[in-house]
A and B are shown apart, each in its own frame.
Chain A
Amino acid sequence: MSKFIGVIACNYRTDLLQSMITSRPIAALPFGGRYRLLDFPLSGMVNSGLRTVGIITPYRYRPILDHLGAGKEWYLDRKVGGLFILPGSRQGKYSRNNKFALRDFVKNIEFLERDRADYVIISGCSNIFNLNYNEVMAKFGDKNSDLIMIYKELCLEEKEDCQGVVLQVDENQMVVKLESSLGREKQIVKFFADTFIVKRKLLLDILKNYEGIEEMDLLDILEENIEMFRIAAYPLSGYFGRITSIRSYYLRSMDMLNHSVRNELFMKTNRIHTKIKDNPPTKYGTQCSIRNSLISSGCTIQGNVRDSIVFRGVRIEAGASVTKSIIMQKCVIGEEAVLENVIIDKYGQVNTGAVINGQDHSPVVINKYMVL
């Protein structure tokens, strides 16, 4: 039995993803040609040997269940342990950057009580990285820390879409303070990756002590009581991508065209698992031209594709031209259509000869099922 169980918190939103998350939770956002954002934290856990993972679901969780099923692709269809759906509480339309709402954990406390694992790995669902938690434990397991927070050292952009949590760390790699990223633009910071490992018993104690005050977030509690806990900080060395807005979704997607990023995330021993669709291979026509693009299975491509990401089962007809765009599952791009800097959500249809142009780094988003 694993020393760990996992919880993935999916009950939060970010307004800057606009129409891409009106019909789906952020965890179910399609990414990288065949994945959904949830695949990244979930695969990190199962690749680390976890076979008991709970998913705290948001209000509209049909797409999550559709994707996960019984958890077969993640080896989570177990007799012992397995995949647990932990219903989240209904939140207001706009949550206040509140990812680890206490009440979501309190409501599902039985999940935490029943297992005998030593640690709980808690993760958000909107960051892209590939981490084996055994590496974290190899470094910190013997240090007798109560918690380990995972961070990425990065330089905040001039204009950040969204605020996050920044760690202040002492010389022993112990966290001394949690701060907001606001006001630190263009600085190099230790950015909290929305992922931490906590002793299960300690987590249960916290939940019981705070039972009445459920509006709080787990991070608020850590912040308030920072002296009481021994919190170690673990730096991520590999790729780290945050999805907080349409812009960051677009840019992080385009990162996948980079060979070393792709190799690190998808081609090594710790692979990212996702739902299998049994599509045929992709068929390329006699007149197509493809450059620097990521193309998924089951597509039929007769036209031109450049610097783009194409999801499963897309059809791009002759003479169509797709540049710097993201075309989601089962879209059809008609003959001679011209797309540049566009994100087309699932089942979109672009008619013959249509021209859609977004701006550089500010793509136009075409909603699910739209016909243009």
Chain B
Amino acid sequence: MSGRECIAMLLAGGQGSRLGCLTRNIAKPAVSFGGKYRIIDFSLSNCVNSNIDTVGVLTQYKPFLLNSYIGIGSAWDLDNSQGGVHILPPFVGEQGGRWYKGTANAIYQNIDFISYYNPKYVLIISGDHIYKMNYTQMLRYHQEKKAEVTISVLPVPQEEASRFGIITTDEDSRITKFTEKPVHPDSNLASMGIYLFNWPVLKKALIKDEVDSESDNDFGKNIIPMLLQEHKKLYSYSFEGYWKDVGTIESYYDANMDLLSAQPEFDLFDTTTRVFSNSDILPPQYIGEKARVKNSLISNGCTILGEVINSILAPGVYVGEGAIVHNSLLLPNSTVSCESWVRKAIIGEHSVIGAYCSIGIKIGTNPRQAGITVIEDNTLIEEDTLVEEGKNVYRGSVA
């Protein structure tokens, strides 16, 4: 196989347990976002828009929906005869098989896959970030600096810095220190979890890390500090623009709501870098005679007969007559029946809120998860049910 310049390895195996009932049945990258998208669309579209035509998607946790959504990658023009998208689940060999232990171990187990394409560079990205980025510019930077590893960084507010992997650099942007979630951060440059490696350097590091039984086999915790110790040339690449890690219910909700601001920083309507997705065949949305729609994003196949304000509706959503939906995210094919009231809630895929329900009733002053109520997918909320704000309603549990 002739060598490729750069291939991407997309980490999509994490459970995303902090998203609670949103990821109980599906992997985090497959969670619906921004109406018609799923979270992985952004990373995959970035690859395509950066002319990276070979992408390995590492899956592990509940991959069914994710696998069927990606398919052969045709929605992103990744159905190439050479390269294209490859779904890489854990597998067995002569020595038996193992689950992916950490991010580095997942790549380690797929060394053969990367070697098959024999690229000069390997881009490691994750499938759970919302951003638009041209990886080509990062690659040019990497080449200019003659770096062995380049990590994409962006400044975060100092008080939030201890949530991230924090990078300290010299005046030439060469990385001098990397600390995962430091208690006392000495910089506010956070790693975005986007790593560009020279393939031989990565391969060697992965093999070395694998034999270390103390290691968690994680890029941030183990591989990067190890390479720093070896005085490899690690550089930081400053990213400018919108980037959100949607790891928690609050950040997931906020990132969605960011799309509704008058001039959103993350602009889905920008045609220069389009976001592709695998969409269902649905007719245009219908807004009824008595409906009221304000400041919302609404997708194909929706039927709106009630009131929708400050909300994002995914494809195939139904809002019945007299229903009121405020500040909420209605995920694909969910239903809010007539005269129901939904406030600051996330309604899971295919879930049905019966008539005359109230979802997100105010209680006291300090509700959980910023008062966001979440209903799991495929859940039926019976007529006349009241659900308090900040509650997570799992399927089968009594609301």
Closest chain B residue, CB of each to CB of A73? B281
Say yes or no: B286 contacts A297, CB within 8 Å: no
Complex alpha-carbon distance, A310 and B312, angstroms: 19
B300 at the interface (CB under 8 A from A): yes
Say yes or no: B34 contacts A296, CB within 8 Å: no
Say yes or no: A72 contacts B74, CB within 8 Å: yes
Q: Contacts of B36 on A, CB cut-off 8 Å?
A: 280-281, 297
Q: Contacts of B274 on A, CB cut-off 8 Å?
A: 278
B358 at the interface (CB under 8 A from A): no
Say yes or no: A280 contacts B287, CB within 8 Å: no
Say yes or no: B287 contacts A281, CB within 8 Å: no
Q: Contacts of B277 on A, CB cut-off 8 Å?
A: 278
A-B contact count (CB 8 A): 107
Say yes or no: A294 contacts B35, CB within 8 Å: no
Interchain CB contact (< 8 A) of B34 among A72, A274, A281, A287: A281
Say yes or no: A282 contacts B285, CB within 8 Å: yes
Q: Contacts of B292 on A, CB cut-off 8 Å?
A: 289
Say yes or no: A284 contacts B284, CB within 8 Å: no
Say yes or no: A271 contacts B289, CB within 8 Å: no
Say yes or no: B287 contacts A278, CB within 8 Å: no
B residues 156-185 in Cβ contact with A at 8 Å: none
Say yes or no: B284 contacts A295, CB within 8 Å: yes
Complex alpha-carbon distance, A272 and B280, angstroms: 11
Closest chain A residue, CB of each to CB of B299? A281
Given contacts A281-B313, A284-B298, A297-B36, contact A271 B281 (CB under 8 A): yes
Complex alpha-carbon distance, A226 and B268, angstroms: 59
Interchain CB contact (< 8 A) of A280 among B268, B303, B313: B268
Interface residues of A (CB under 8 A from B): 32-34, 72-73, 256-257, 259, 262, 265-267, 271-274, 276, 278, 280-298, 300, 305, 309-310
Say yes or no: A32 contacts B285, CB within 8 Å: no
Interchain CB contact (< 8 A) of B284 among A288, A291, A297: A297
Complex alpha-carbon distance, A271 and B290, angstroms: 27
Least CB distance, A268 to chain B, in whole angstroms? 11
Q: Contacts of B80 on A, CB cut-off 8 Å?
A: none
Given contacts A262-B283, A262-B286, A281-B36, contact A296 B297 (CB under 8 A): no
Interchain CB contact (< 8 A) of B293 among A34, A284, A294, A298: A284
Closest chain B residue, CB of each to CB of A312? B284
Say yes or no: B282 contacts A283, CB within 8 Å: no
Complex alpha-carbon distance, A295 and B285, angstroms: 5
Complex alpha-carbon distance, A267 and B276, angstroms: 23
Interchain CB contact (< 8 A) of A286 among B287, B295, B300, B313: B295
A-B contact pairs, 29 of them (CB 8 A): A32-B283, A32-B284, A33-B283, A34-B283, A256-B283, A266-B283, A266-B301, A267-B301, A272-B281, A272-B283, A276-B279, A280-B297, A281-B36, A281-B268, A281-B297, A281-B298, A281-B300, A281-B312, A281-B313, A283-B269, A284-B294, A284-B295, A285-B294, A286-B294, A288-B293, A292-B287, A295-B298, A297-B284, A297-B299
Say yes or no: B295 contacts A292, CB within 8 Å: no
Closest chain A residue, CB of each to CB of B285? A295
Q: Contacts of A273 on B, CB cut-off 8 Å?
A: 281
B102 at the interface (CB under 8 A from A): no
Interchain CB contact (< 8 A) of A290 among B74, B268, B287, B299: B287
Least CB distance, B349 to chain A, in whole angstroms? 16
B275 at the interface (CB under 8 A from A): yes
Interface residues of B (CB under 8 A from A): 34-36, 74, 268-269, 274-277, 279, 281-301, 303, 312-313
Least CB distance, A39 to chain B, in whole angstroms? 10
Say yes or no: A266 contacts B269, CB within 8 Å: no
Q: Contacts of B287 on A, CB cut-off 8 Å?
A: 290-295, 305
Q: Contacts of B300 on A, CB cut-off 8 Å?
A: 34, 281, 296-297
Least CB distance, A281 to chain B, in whole angstroms? 4
Given contacts A32-B284, A297-B300, contact A278 B295 (CB under 8 A): no
Q: Which of B285, B287, B294 has the most CB of A within 10 A?
A: B287
Complex alpha-carbon distance, A289 and B293, angstroms: 7
Closest chain B residue, CB of each to CB of A34? B284
Complex alpha-carbon distance, A290 and B313, angstroms: 16
Q: Contacts of A283 on B, CB cut-off 8 Å?
A: 269, 296-297
Say yes or no: B294 contacts A292, CB within 8 Å: no
Q: Which of A72, A73, A294 has the most CB of B within 10 A?
A: A294
Q: Contacts of A32 on B, CB cut-off 8 Å?
A: 283-284
Say yes or no: A280 contacts B281, CB within 8 Å: no
Complex alpha-carbon distance, A310 and B279, angstroms: 20
Q: Which of A280, A281, A283, A286 has the most CB of B within 10 A?
A: A281
Q: Contacts of A294 on B, CB cut-off 8 Å?
A: 283-287
Q: Contacts of B313 on A, CB cut-off 8 Å?
A: 281
Say yes or no: A296 contacts B275, CB within 8 Å: no
Complex alpha-carbon distance, A283 and B258, angstroms: 13
Complex alpha-carbon distance, A274 and B279, angstroms: 12
Complex alpha-carbon distance, A212 and B35, angstroms: 58
Known: A34-B300, A282-B297. 16 other contacts (CB 8 A): A34-B283, A72-B74, A73-B281, A259-B286, A267-B283, A278-B274, A278-B276, A281-B36, A281-B312, A282-B298, A284-B295, A284-B298, A287-B294, A288-B293, A292-B288, A305-B287
Least CB distance, B297 to chain A, in whole angstroms? 4
Closest chain A residue, CB of each to CB of B287? A290
Q: Contacts of B34 on A, CB cut-off 8 Å?
A: 280-281
In the A-B complex, the 3 residue pairs with the closest CB atoms: A33-B284, A281-B35, A266-B283
Say yes or no: B279 contacts A266, CB within 8 Å: no
Closest chain A residue, CB of each to CB of B315? A281
Q: Which of A284, A287, A293 has the most CB of B within 10 A?
A: A284
